[in-house]
Amino acid sequence: MNTNKTKRYVISFCIFVSLCVLRGFLFPALAGTNGILEGTVKDKVTGELLSGVNVLIVGTQQGTSTDRDGHYVIQNIRAGKYEVRFTHIGYQTSLIKNVIINPDLRTRIHIQLEPSAVMMKEIIVIQEKPLIQKDVTGTTFIVSGDDINLLPVDNVADVIKLKAGVTAEGNVRGGKTTEVLYLVDGLPVQDVIVGGRSADLPNSSIVGLSFYTGGFEPEYGNALSGVVNIVTKTGTNQHKFFLRADKDNLFGGKQVSKTSEAELSASGPILEDQLFYFGSFTGSMTDTRWWQDIQYFFKSPVEKNYSGFGKLDYVFTPTMRLGVQGLYAHRDARPYEFSWRFNLDGLPAEKRDAYRVAAIYSHSPSDRFFYTASVSRYYVKSRIGSGSKQDIPVNDPYQYDFFLRYIVDGQRTIWSRSTQETYTLKADGALKPGGDHLVKFGAEVNFYNLQSDIVKYEPRKTYFGKPLVNEPQLNFSSAYTYRPRTGSVYIQDKIDLATDGILLNAGVRYDFLDPTADRPLIEAIPVRDTAYTFTFKGNAKSSLKQQFSPRVGAAMQLAENGYLFINLGWYFQYPLFDYLYTGLDRVGLTKGISALTGNPDLEPERTTSFEISLKYSFDYNLVGSITYFKKESRNLIDTKTFVPGDSKLAGNFGFAEYVNTPEALASGVEIVISRERGEWLTGEVSYTFMRAEGTSGSAQDAFYIAQYGLPPAVRIFPLSWDQTHTVKTVLTVLTPIDLNLNIVTEYHTGKPYTRYPTSTGFETISSGSFVQNNERMPSYFNADVKIEKIFTFGWWEDARMKLYLDVRNVTNSRNVKWVDSNARVGGELGDPGGFYIGRRTSLGLQMEF
């Protein structure tokens, strides 16, 4: 079939599907925000199944009645903690408290009602969270908003670093940090140009999150290593308010970052039972750990971060709801580099603003079927430098001192303006056709409007960081505007054979990417052994990229308290758009070739992942698990350079293009002992053994290797985030006097680095071969503690005040972050940034009412 026709058919189909869903003609998963409550009701005396029992989720209009078999199902329940009331004529009313609804999962409550001829006070039962979640076949961590509030963490990224299989920098199971997908209410908040999350939420707006480190279902795509799905709070019929403030320099001293934070939120009804509001805001101002240098150049504060979230929810009927929400995040910062410490105003300021508006409609036409449909616009604007790009001193690079160590004058030659606009149409649904099946399916289409304009020159350097001041600079300048499109369709069947203790999961996901760009045709002609000349031969249309991703899993009960979980899946991630488009304008306009040039024909990066896990619940509410995982990745991205090692990579003399060549392999074992129930002690202890190896450590590895005149890697080597042995503890101690202690510790063995000594910074000491990541840094240990005292007031029953002390790196450990090729921490200059940050202590006050 003709490629262009195929492209049009696929795009048209996905647009049609999404629009139909939005109009309600197609009833297509749980969308990552909603869950299901189901179970049975029996007569406590006779054991007879009861029909017609009313089941109501207190504080909402959602409810149902049991069928003739005494079974009930309530779908489309937003994730959170609820109370559920069971009432029936001739029986005593029962109220079940602490019922937790998790996104994408089913919560089961089987209850027995006690016959009663007269009206009696209702029976109150505290529901306990199941020790083992039996309907999840992949590794999933569920963290509530209350847990986040207890921990010594700043944001969601800090939370996921506490879990097994995650490194101190946030690499999940041997993958890059950019391989983790962040979602808010099922919609992404990714930076699609350079990677990573582009917005943070106020912690007070989070009801909980699900973190998938392996075996995530077909509902989730465009992620190789992990998915973080954040579910936000919704207003109720009760007005609630939250205030928090803390500061780390109340007592002076040098071990401070001069950081102040404030947070507030409010929620409640506008129209009781119909229209609800929620809003939250957080702001922080800091002078960073480098304030002692920065204070001579800039006014305080040098970094400001603000984020806000608001939503309105309108309940048309108990089964029909419309939510409208807005998200805003702002960052304004002055960067710091130790080699610029005498010329910090030569580093350009950085700003970023992110906005998102979304409308989410959910409807449950019956007890066995519901769907959601959403439309959103996400806009991210980034800026580096002030003024216009004509002001950048391209031909006047910054000046070093006599020893070529510190930059003492001049301005970094970088200026950037970029915007990314994403329109998303999405629909998901869940159908319980009867019996043991739960079918989830959905579709999504994304339209992007990407604009990037960057002027960037870098001096050539040796591998050891010494500048080659007499060589031409590397030109990374680029300007582009593109409008790519992506889309997906998925379906999954979850078969729960409860009587046999078996759950089967099977599904498939289809995704496509239309780059809507031309690929430049460049011919490299060698003119001698050390140089090429390049000829632009025109353009070729980039092809449609497609991916089918089957995923299967199973859970089996092996003993009364033991379960076996197996999962196998194929996953993918589209290249960052900068890898597709950067530098193409220079080629197309024959302005010379950018040092790094994009490739619109890059294929998706692909991973095959397998895991097997055994979980067992012991006495004292302890659960132990052991998991083996293996990930094989291919089509990863690096550069192909057409430049011999001793040629000068500048202007028309050099060329490197992004290509799909590297491979990687990660495998390991995770052992976790957890205790989520307990009157005084809860938490978990985990151990991870992991290997992460590959043929490339970044998308620019081969480019810089060639620039330094070193041979490219010809073997698999440990990747820079290969954290072999890791032990983590997350413990919470609760006392009867409302004094709580939260302790977080992490130990890991040293990460790899390349030892390639030099005495001059220009030449290596020996003639030994260059081998990447051939040595290890020292081991790492960090402990954080948060102590909080809760105060309640008899004269104000709904109020609660908390005073807390948050101490990071309580032992003030000097943990090594990086070393140079001579094994010197912080390199030749002894950069303090070669160590992770030292002890920091914040005192805070929090009020809820």
Give the DSSP letter string of 696-761: -SSTTHHHHHHHTTPPPP-S-EE-TT---EEEEEEEEEE-TTSEEEEEEEEEEPPPEE----BSSS
Mean pLDDT, range 494-503, rounded to an integer? 81
Out of 124-133, 228-237, 326-335, 507-516, pick the least confident: 124-133
Q: State the pLDDT at residue 717.
A: 93
Match domain 31-126 to its CATH number in 2.60.40.1120, 3.40.50.620, 1.10.3720.10, 2.40.30.10. Answer: 2.60.40.1120
Q: State the pLDDT at residue 22.
A: 38
pLDDT at residue 652 greater than cutoff 70: no
User: Cα 456 to chain center, whole Å?
Assistant: 29
User: Residue 263: enclosing H or E segment and its boundaries?
Assistant: strand 260-271
Whether 326 contacts 311, CB under 8 Å: yes
826 to each of 273, 293, 832, 836, how far by Cα in Å? 59, 17, 6, 11
Q: State the pLDDT at residue 472.
A: 81
Q: Which residues pair with 381 in a beta bridge?
A: 353, 419
User: Residue 430: enclosing H or E segment and its boundaries?
Assistant: strand 414-434
Owner of token pair 């919470």: 732
Q: State the pLDDT at residue 120.
A: 66
Q: Cβ–Cβ contacts within 10 Å for residue 758, how many?
A: 19
Which among 215-229, 528-542, 824-838 has the top mean pLDDT? 824-838
Q: Which two tokens stand for residue 631?
A: 């990930």
Burial class (CB in 10 A: 0-12, 13-18, 19+), 373: buried
Give the confidence band of 783 by pLDDT, cuts at 50, 70, 90: very high
Whether 744 contacts 151, CB under 8 Å: yes
Give the confidence band of 592 by pLDDT, cuts at 50, 70, 90: low
Q: State the pLDDT at residue 703.
A: 83
Q: Which two tokens stand for residue 571?
A: 């996953």
pLDDT at residue 339 greater than cutoff 80: yes
Q: Which residues pair with 693 in a beta bridge?
A: 665, 718
Q: State the pLDDT at residue 325.
A: 96
511 to each of 420, 442, 835, how far by Cα in Å? 21, 12, 42
Give the confidence band of 18 by pLDDT, cuts at 50, 70, 90: very low
Own/partner long-range contacts of 402-410 (Cβ < 8 Å, ≥24 apart): 404/466, 404/467, 404/469, 404/761, 405/339, 405/828, 405/829, 406/339, 406/340, 406/341, 406/342, 406/343, 406/829, 407/339, 407/340, 407/342, 407/343, 407/346, 408/342, 408/343, 409/343, 409/346, 410/343, 410/346
Q: Which two tokens stand for residue 304?
A: 């400001």
Whether 363 contacts 188, CB under 8 Å: no
Give the confidence band of 587 by pLDDT, cuts at 50, 70, 90: low
SS percent in the chain: helix, strand, coil, step 5: 10, 50, 40
Tell me the pairing of strands 180-184 and 226-232.
parallel
Best CA proximity match to 233, nearest among 376, 99, 33, 98: 33
Q: Which two tokens stand for residue 638?
A: 């690096």
344 to each of 292, 337, 398, how far by Cα in Å? 12, 8, 12
812 to each of 367, 402, 452, 827, 838, how far by Cα in Å? 56, 36, 42, 21, 5
pLDDT at residue 485 greater than cutoff 80: yes
Give the confidence band of 471 by pLDDT, cuts at 50, 70, 90: confident
Own/partner long-range contacts of 618-622 (Cβ < 8 Å, ≥24 apart): 618/561, 620/675, 620/678, 621/131, 621/675, 621/676, 621/677, 621/678, 622/673, 622/674, 622/675
pLDDT at residue 413 greater than cutoff 80: yes
Sorted by sequence, the CB contacts under 8 Å of residue 797 that are 6+ apart come out as none
User: Residue 803: enclosing H or E segment and its boundaries?
Assistant: strand 796-808
Whether 545 contacts 603, CB under 8 Å: yes
Sorted by sequence, the CB contacts under 8 Å of residue 628 that are 6+ apart come out as 611, 612, 613, 667, 668, 669
pLDDT at residue 318 greater than cutoff 60: yes
Q: State the pLDDT at residue 651.
A: 39
Give the confidence band of 524 by pLDDT, cuts at 50, 70, 90: low
Question: CA-to-CA distance for 727 and 687, rounded, in angstroms?
Answer: 5
Q: Which two tokens stand for residue 839?
A: 């002890």
Q: Cβ–Cβ contacts within 10 Å for residue 377, how many?
A: 14
Task: Please report how many Cα atoms fall inside a 13 Å half-sphere around the Cα of residue 51, on the Cβ side.
Answer: 3
Best CA proximity match to 722, nearest among 764, 688, 758, 693: 693
Three-state SS letters, 508-569: EEEEEEECCCEEEEEEEEEEECCEEEEEEEEEEECCCEEEEEEEEEEEEEEECCEEEEEEEE
- Tens of pLDDT along 47-106? 888 888 889 888 888 888 888 888 888 887 888 888 899 988 888 888 888 888 887 778
pLDDT at residue 527 greater than cutoff 80: no
Query: If DSSP codes are grouped into helix, strand and coil, which group holds residue 152?
Result: coil
Mean pLDDT, range 389-395, rounded to an integer? 83
Best CA proximity match to 315, nearest among 327, 323, 305: 323
Owner of token pair 């995040």: 329
Give the confidence band of 257 by pLDDT, cuts at 50, 70, 90: very high
Mean pLDDT, range 656-663, rounded to an integer? 87
Q: Cβ–Cβ contacts within 10 Å for residue 558, how many?
A: 12
Q: State the pLDDT at residue 655.
A: 63
Query: If DSSP codes are grouped into helix, strand and coil, which group holds residue 763?
Result: coil
pLDDT at residue 17 greater than cutoff 60: no
Query: If DSSP codes are grouped into helix, strand and coil, which group holds residue 93?
Result: coil
Give the confidence band of 28 by pLDDT, cuts at 50, 70, 90: very low
Q: Which two tokens stand for residue 189?
A: 């908040």
Mean pLDDT, range 725-737, rounded to an integer? 93
Give me the CATH topology for the region 140-848: Maltoporin; Chain A (2.40.170)
- CA-CA-CA-CA torsion sign (757, 763, 765, 766): positive
Sorted by sequence, the CB contacts under 8 Å of residue 250 that are 6+ apart come out as 843
Give the confidence band of 293 by pLDDT, cuts at 50, 70, 90: very high
707 to each of 566, 640, 653, how far by Cα in Å? 45, 12, 12
47 to each of 54, 127, 688, 753, how far by Cα in Å? 18, 21, 46, 66
Sorted by sequence, the CB contacts under 8 Å of residue 658 that are 6+ apart come out as 575, 579, 580, 596, 597, 598, 599, 602, 637, 638, 639, 640, 699
In the chain, what are the domain boundaries?
31-126, 140-848
Mean pLDDT, range 513-538, rounded to an integer? 70
Could you list the beta-strand ranges (E) of 637-704: 637-641, 656-660, 664-675, 681-694
Q: State the pLDDT at residue 830.
A: 94
pLDDT at residue 3 greater than cutoff 60: no
Count helices and strands (H / E) in the chain.
7, 48
DSSP structural state of residue 779: P
Q: State the pLDDT at residue 701.
A: 85
Best CA proximity match to 654, nearest among 501, 516, 506, 532: 532
Task: Please report how many Cα atoms fall inside a 13 Å half-sphere around the Cα of residue 456, on the Cβ side.
Answer: 16
Query: Percentage of the chain surpassing pLDDT 90?
Result: 55
Mean pLDDT, range 697-724, rounded to an integer? 83
- Tens of pLDDT along 122-167? 777 766 677 777 778 889 998 989 889 999 999 999 999 999 999 9
pLDDT at residue 594 greater than cutoff 80: no
